[in-house]
């Protein structure tokens, strides 16, 4: 029994260090957190957001700058939602938090026909508007979301297949109205690591009974496609993600992203086969904790 517990703790600690290292590198690469930031950590009750809060708290203890973390949950009034689970968890942590109560569930049920699959996009747009308004009213400088590596890859293919655009989720984004900055500290973290960490940490997971329970969604189809690819060719997901960090505009067809008009036979030099990238410097964020 003692040996099993030791192995379990070792595995948990190893996952923690890896997630912490990846999150620290992402924060440094994209300058996500600055001195004096008041960060709204969006907590849904899922494995991703629990892990994000846990890792951010760990980084906060040894970060090179001081910043605040405030957990915020949006209670969307889904039937059977265990409203006390998150407050109990956050009270035990001793962290400042707020619960926003908005009945977006009824809105989605009313707008989307009963015979159709609930579309995550509508739910996310409603949530985003509520969160943005609350963040502005409370004076938060950053909004942290728990999207991970696979979310980025899936969104890339969703936009390619259904939107005709080569784009994914931004690691850091200023909202259209210029009032909010959104950050995604887990963009370098693997979904499997997050799930394993959440299970080992025994976070009180709250399942989504809206879009999360629906079959045959576009994102689920993309997930299955990526799983199949990775089975056929292990490491393919990692390669796809690496490609998102090595963009070559001169070898694509977007005339607004690269000045093809300026390339002429009388001009010296050739377009580079590789974009220039800043060196990574996440060591100050990862620390030794």
**pLDDT averaged over 10-residue windows placed end to end, the chain, 289 residues:** 66 93 98 98 96 98 96 88 93 96 80 59 80 95 97 95 94 92 98 96 84 62 94 95 96 94 67 44 64
Which strand (E) or helix (H) includes residue 14? helix 2-29
CA separation for the pair 86, 91 (Å, rounded): 8
pLDDT of res. 201:
95
Please report the sign of the dihedral spanned by the C-alpha atoms of residue 264, residue 270, residue 272, residue 278.
Answer: negative
Q: Which two tokens stand for residue 223?
A: 């997930």
pLDDT of res. 207:
82
Nearest to 73 by CA among 88, 61, 82, 86: 86
pLDDT of res. 232:
95
Q: What residues contact 86, with CB distance under 8 A and at least 6 apart?
A: 43, 45, 73, 97, 99, 204, 206
pLDDT of res. 144:
98
pLDDT of res. 276:
40
The pTM (predicted TM-score) of the whole model is 0.85
Which one of 3.40.50.620, 3.40.50.300, 3.40.50.261, 1.20.120.1750 gives the CATH number of domain 2-245? 3.40.50.620
pLDDT of res. 5:
63
Nearest to 58 by CA among 85, 22, 87, 8: 22
* 3-state secondary structure (DSSP) of residue 89: helix
N-terminal to C-terminal alpha carbon distance within the chain: 28
pLDDT of res. 35:
97
């Amino acid at each position: 029994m003692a040996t099993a517990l030791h192995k379990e703790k070792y595995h948990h600690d190893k996952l923690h260090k890896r997630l912490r290292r990846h999150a620290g590198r992402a924060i440094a690469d994209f300058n996500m957190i600055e001195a004096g930031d008041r960060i709204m950590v969006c907590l849904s009750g899922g494995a991703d957001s629990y892990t994000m809060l846990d890792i951010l708290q760990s980084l906060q203890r040894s970060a090179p700058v001081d910043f605040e973390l405030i957990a915020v949950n949006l209670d969307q009034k889904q039937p059977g939602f265990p409203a006390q689970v998150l407050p109990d968890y956050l009270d035990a942590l001793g962290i400042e938090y707020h619960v926003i109560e908005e009945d977006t569930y009824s809105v989605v049920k009313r707008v989307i026909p009963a015979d159709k699959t609930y579309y995550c996009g509508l739910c996310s747009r409603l949530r985003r508007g509520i969160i943005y308004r609350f963040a502005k009213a409370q004076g938060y400088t950053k909004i942290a979301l728990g999207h991970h590596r696979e979310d980025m890859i899936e969104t890339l293919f969703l936009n390619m297949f259904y939107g005709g655009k080569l784009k994914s989720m931004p690691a850091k984004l200023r909202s259209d109205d210029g009032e909010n900055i959104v950050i995604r500290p887990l963009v370098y973290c693997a979904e499997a690591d997050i799930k394993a960490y959440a299970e080992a940490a025994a976070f009180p997971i709250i399942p989504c009974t809206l879009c999360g329970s629906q079959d045959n969604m576009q994102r689920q189809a993309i997930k299955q496609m990526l799983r199949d690819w990775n089975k056929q060719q292990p490491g393919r997901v990692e390669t796809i993600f690496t490609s998102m960090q090595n963009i070559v505009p001169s070898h694509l067809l977007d005339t607004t992203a690269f000045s093809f008009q300026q390339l002429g036979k009388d001009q010296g030099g050739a377009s580079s086969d590789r974009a220039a990238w800043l060196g990574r410097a996440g060591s100050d964020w990862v620390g030794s904790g």
